Structure 1
Amino acid sequence: MKFLILASVLAILLLLISTHAEGCNQGDSSESCKQGKLYPTDKCSPPVTKNTKATLTLNSFEKGGSGGGPSECDGQYHDDDTRIAALSTCWYNGGSRCLKRIIINANGRSVDAIVVDECADSNGIVDASKAVWKALGLDTNVGVFDITWTDA
């Protein structure tokens, strides 16, 4: 009997350690955030704060560009000279940030961008257009840069 109780407690502890519901706001009913569902701990980390650390990647949102199909938020392609971005699945939050502005900080500069897409199956990524990279004074040939960002 003691073994059964101990095994049950251990199973519950392992479940609590390996999963949690971070990223779900009260009343959030988006596809990616169902109340009562447990999410892997790396699914929504880091949470969005005033200076959320992320990796900026370069993407083309134009038809035929490196981004693939049209943007999730509006079903359209976007010019590379427009300051736009895609967010990792957790930060995209089922589309709750669609067509909203975010502020990206890097290289001593800040720039705003409109969220138009999701970076599916990624964590900690802000995927941005060439216009964002240029506004931040970054070399687009590098293609990856450490940044911070926040909601506008």
Structure 2
Amino acid sequence: MYAVNGKFNRTFRDFDVYKRLGIVSVTTTRFKENFLKMNPKDFFALYSSGNGWLGVGRVISSAVCFADFEMHQGGRLIDYDQYPFKEIQRINPHFGREEYVIRVEWVALVDSLEAGKDIQSFESKDPVTQLDDGQARKILQAFNIKT
């Protein structure tokens, strides 16, 4: 099981947008190996610095850079204007190659950032890390998930 630090900043990494669109993203110029290793059906726990653990999701599709990311809904391609990243990419053209996105299915989520669960802190320079079995068990228990 992986852990992803959302590093929410209320501009383009917004918890409510993640919930609504079923996505998670990270900027991975130096640390992208773990995010790229996440495969469909892998479980991950979402963390927010200063707020705690926000939930557990399952990967639907592997990570792609934002410039190559397409999202379909009801068979139709969603316009990029609905993504929280379009304006950032317009200001910083490198963003499209530095921000990586995965599609996810949320298994359990808290209602808001402020409702994060204080289980243990996220201690990694990489925004994505693999949890050991004990850590994963504690998080799954906190969200009442049986695997």
Give me the TM-score of the superposition, normalised by structure 1: 0.28
Structure number with higher relative contact order (C-alpha < 8 Å, ≥ 6 residues apart)? 2
The structure where helix makes up a greater share of residues is 2
